[in-house]
Amino acid sequence: MGLRLIDNPLIRHKLNTIRDISTPSERLRCLVEEISLMCMPYLGEGLPTHVRRIRTPLMEGDFEFIDEGSIVLVCILRAGLPMLSGALKALPGASSGFLAIKRDEKSLISKLYYSRLPNIKGRYVILLDPMLATGGTFQLAMEEIGALGPRHVRSLHIVASPQGIEEVSRKYPDVDLYVISVDESLNSMGYIVPGVGDIGDRLFTGNL
Protein backbone atom coordinates (compact mmCIF):
# COMPACT_ATOMS: atom_id res chain seq x y z
CA MET A 1 0.00 0.00 0.00
CA GLY A 2 2.88 2.44 0.71
CA LEU A 3 1.66 5.85 1.85
CA ARG A 4 -1.80 6.32 3.33
CA LEU A 5 -2.84 9.90 4.11
CA ILE A 6 -5.32 10.00 6.97
CA ASP A 7 -7.81 12.55 5.70
CA ASN A 8 -10.25 13.49 8.46
CA PRO A 9 -11.34 17.02 9.48
CA LEU A 10 -11.45 16.32 13.23
CA ILE A 11 -7.99 14.72 13.21
CA ARG A 12 -6.70 17.69 11.16
CA HIS A 13 -8.30 20.10 13.64
CA LYS A 14 -6.41 18.40 16.48
CA LEU A 15 -3.15 18.41 14.51
CA ASN A 16 -3.51 22.13 13.81
CA THR A 17 -4.09 22.74 17.52
CA ILE A 18 -0.80 20.91 18.14
CA ARG A 19 0.88 23.23 15.62
CA ASP A 20 -0.30 26.30 17.57
CA ILE A 21 2.65 27.66 19.56
CA SER A 22 0.29 28.72 22.38
CA THR A 23 -0.95 25.16 23.10
CA PRO A 24 0.56 24.12 26.47
CA SER A 25 2.41 20.81 27.08
CA GLU A 26 -0.39 19.28 29.12
CA ARG A 27 -2.90 19.84 26.29
CA LEU A 28 -0.37 18.68 23.68
CA ARG A 29 0.02 15.33 25.42
CA CYS A 30 -3.76 14.84 25.42
CA LEU A 31 -4.02 15.86 21.75
CA VAL A 32 -1.28 13.48 20.63
CA GLU A 33 -2.92 10.67 22.60
CA GLU A 34 -6.38 11.49 21.17
CA ILE A 35 -5.08 11.73 17.58
CA SER A 36 -3.29 8.40 17.91
CA LEU A 37 -6.41 6.70 19.24
CA MET A 38 -8.47 8.24 16.41
CA CYS A 39 -6.01 6.91 13.81
CA MET A 40 -6.23 3.33 15.07
CA PRO A 41 -9.29 2.38 12.95
CA TYR A 42 -7.18 3.23 9.87
CA LEU A 43 -4.17 1.23 11.09
CA GLY A 44 -6.41 -1.63 12.18
CA GLU A 45 -7.64 -2.32 8.65
CA GLY A 46 -6.46 -5.72 7.47
CA LEU A 47 -5.14 -6.86 10.85
CA PRO A 48 -5.88 -10.54 11.53
CA THR A 49 -9.16 -11.36 13.21
CA HIS A 50 -10.88 -14.41 14.63
CA VAL A 51 -14.46 -15.31 15.32
CA ARG A 52 -15.46 -16.12 18.89
CA ARG A 53 -18.74 -17.46 20.20
CA ILE A 54 -20.03 -15.20 22.97
CA ARG A 55 -23.25 -14.63 24.80
CA THR A 56 -24.80 -11.13 24.52
CA PRO A 57 -27.56 -10.18 26.97
CA LEU A 58 -30.05 -11.39 24.33
CA MET A 59 -28.55 -14.38 22.55
CA GLU A 60 -25.50 -16.44 21.78
CA GLY A 61 -23.66 -15.75 18.53
CA ASP A 62 -20.37 -15.66 16.60
CA PHE A 63 -18.58 -12.30 16.53
CA GLU A 64 -15.33 -11.00 15.03
CA PHE A 65 -12.42 -9.82 17.20
CA ILE A 66 -8.93 -8.52 16.29
CA ASP A 67 -6.06 -10.84 17.25
CA GLU A 68 -4.61 -8.26 19.64
CA GLY A 69 -1.93 -10.69 20.73
CA SER A 70 -0.47 -10.66 17.20
CA ILE A 71 0.21 -6.91 17.42
CA VAL A 72 3.29 -5.14 18.75
CA LEU A 73 3.24 -1.38 19.27
CA VAL A 74 6.75 0.07 19.09
CA CYS A 75 7.17 3.52 20.55
CA ILE A 76 10.06 5.86 19.78
CA LEU A 77 11.05 7.49 23.06
CA ARG A 78 10.27 10.04 24.14
CA ALA A 79 7.86 11.74 21.75
CA GLY A 80 6.06 8.50 20.91
CA LEU A 81 4.91 7.97 24.52
CA PRO A 82 1.54 9.77 24.27
CA MET A 83 1.00 7.96 20.94
CA LEU A 84 1.48 4.64 22.74
CA SER A 85 -1.10 5.63 25.39
CA GLY A 86 -3.63 6.35 22.63
CA ALA A 87 -2.85 3.20 20.66
CA LEU A 88 -3.09 1.04 23.81
CA LYS A 89 -6.56 2.41 24.50
CA ALA A 90 -7.62 0.95 21.14
CA LEU A 91 -5.58 -2.26 21.41
CA PRO A 92 -5.07 -3.00 25.12
CA GLY A 93 -4.07 -6.59 24.40
CA ALA A 94 -1.14 -5.60 22.16
CA SER A 95 2.47 -5.90 23.36
CA SER A 96 4.63 -2.78 23.61
CA GLY A 97 8.24 -2.21 22.66
CA PHE A 98 10.50 0.80 23.22
CA LEU A 99 13.34 2.32 21.23
CA ALA A 100 15.22 5.39 22.48
CA ILE A 101 16.65 7.17 19.45
CA LYS A 102 18.05 10.68 19.47
CA ARG A 103 19.27 12.84 16.61
CA ASP A 104 22.53 14.72 17.00
CA GLU A 105 21.46 18.34 16.63
CA LYS A 106 24.45 19.30 14.45
CA SER A 107 25.05 16.26 12.24
CA LEU A 108 21.33 15.22 12.27
CA ILE A 109 22.57 11.63 12.57
CA SER A 110 20.28 9.46 14.68
CA LYS A 111 21.69 7.20 17.39
CA LEU A 112 20.03 4.29 19.18
CA TYR A 113 20.47 4.42 22.99
CA TYR A 114 18.11 1.74 24.21
CA SER A 115 16.12 -1.07 22.71
CA ARG A 116 13.56 -3.14 24.57
CA LEU A 117 11.43 -5.09 22.16
CA PRO A 118 9.16 -8.06 22.90
CA ASN A 119 8.99 -11.12 20.64
CA ILE A 120 8.22 -9.73 17.17
CA LYS A 121 8.66 -12.83 15.02
CA GLY A 122 5.61 -13.35 12.81
CA ARG A 123 3.73 -10.47 14.47
CA TYR A 124 2.28 -7.21 13.13
CA VAL A 125 4.29 -4.17 14.21
CA ILE A 126 2.87 -0.65 14.48
CA LEU A 127 5.69 1.88 14.83
CA LEU A 128 4.72 5.10 16.61
CA ASP A 129 6.77 8.24 15.98
CA PRO A 130 5.07 11.64 15.67
CA MET A 131 7.57 13.10 13.20
CA LEU A 132 9.02 11.54 10.04
CA ALA A 133 11.68 14.12 9.20
CA THR A 134 14.92 12.89 7.56
CA GLY A 135 14.02 9.22 7.94
CA GLY A 136 17.16 8.53 10.05
CA THR A 137 15.20 7.50 13.16
CA PHE A 138 12.90 5.36 11.04
CA GLN A 139 15.85 3.56 9.49
CA LEU A 140 17.42 2.75 12.87
CA ALA A 141 14.06 1.56 14.18
CA MET A 142 13.61 -0.67 11.12
CA GLU A 143 17.08 -2.16 11.59
CA GLU A 144 16.08 -3.24 15.12
CA ILE A 145 12.58 -4.40 14.19
CA GLY A 146 13.47 -5.99 10.84
CA ALA A 147 16.15 -8.18 12.45
CA LEU A 148 13.47 -9.84 14.60
CA GLY A 149 11.35 -11.14 11.70
CA PRO A 150 8.01 -9.26 11.90
CA ARG A 151 5.15 -10.44 9.69
CA HIS A 152 4.40 -6.87 8.64
CA VAL A 153 5.27 -3.32 9.70
CA ARG A 154 3.09 -0.24 9.50
CA SER A 155 3.97 3.11 11.01
CA LEU A 156 2.01 6.12 12.21
CA HIS A 157 3.37 9.68 11.92
CA ILE A 158 1.47 12.82 12.74
CA VAL A 159 3.60 14.99 10.43
CA ALA A 160 6.06 13.94 7.72
CA SER A 161 8.38 15.76 5.34
CA PRO A 162 8.32 15.01 1.60
CA GLN A 163 12.00 14.00 1.87
CA GLY A 164 11.32 11.58 4.73
CA ILE A 165 8.46 9.93 2.86
CA GLU A 166 10.57 9.60 -0.27
CA GLU A 167 13.55 8.16 1.62
CA VAL A 168 11.69 5.54 3.66
CA SER A 169 9.33 4.54 0.84
CA ARG A 170 12.36 3.82 -1.34
CA LYS A 171 14.25 1.89 1.36
CA TYR A 172 11.25 0.08 2.87
CA PRO A 173 8.66 -0.44 0.12
CA ASP A 174 6.90 -3.13 2.18
CA VAL A 175 6.21 -0.84 5.13
CA ASP A 176 2.85 0.96 5.13
CA LEU A 177 3.16 4.59 6.22
CA TYR A 178 0.11 6.27 7.79
CA VAL A 179 0.54 10.03 7.89
CA ILE A 180 -1.84 12.81 8.85
CA SER A 181 0.04 15.62 7.08
CA VAL A 182 2.90 15.77 4.62
CA ASP A 183 4.20 19.28 5.26
CA GLU A 184 6.07 21.60 2.90
CA SER A 185 9.72 20.92 3.61
CA LEU A 186 12.58 20.13 5.95
CA ASN A 187 14.82 23.02 7.05
CA SER A 188 18.60 22.94 7.44
CA MET A 189 18.22 22.09 11.16
CA GLY A 190 16.16 18.99 10.31
CA TYR A 191 12.83 20.48 11.42
CA ILE A 192 9.69 19.95 9.41
CA VAL A 193 8.17 23.22 8.12
CA PRO A 194 5.59 24.43 9.06
CA GLY A 195 5.57 21.38 11.36
CA VAL A 196 5.10 21.51 15.11
CA GLY A 197 8.63 22.41 16.31
CA ASP A 198 10.57 20.10 18.65
CA ILE A 199 7.74 17.81 19.63
CA GLY A 200 9.66 16.07 22.44
CA ASP A 201 10.46 19.38 24.15
CA ARG A 202 6.98 20.75 23.57
CA LEU A 203 5.38 17.62 25.03
CA PHE A 204 7.60 17.19 28.04
CA THR A 205 9.54 20.32 28.97
CA GLY A 206 7.16 23.10 28.06
CA ASN A 207 9.87 24.75 25.87
CA LEU A 208 8.55 26.31 22.67
Contact residues: ligand URA, CB under 6 A: 131, 133, 190-192, 195, 198-200
53 Cα distance to chain centroid: 33
Question: Looking at beta carbons only, is 16 or 119 nearer to ligand URA?
Answer: 16
Least distance to ligand URA from the beta carbon of 191, Å?
A: 4
Least separation, in Å, of the C-beta of 18 and ligand URA? 11
Among residues 45 and 184, whose Cβ is nearest to ligand URA? 184
Nearer to ligand URA, 14 or 202 (CB): 202
Residue 90 or 133: the one with the smaller Cβ distance to ligand URA is 133
Quote the least distance from Cβ 71 to ligand URA, whole Å.
25
For the CB of residue 84, give the shortest distance to ligand URA in the complex, in Å: 16
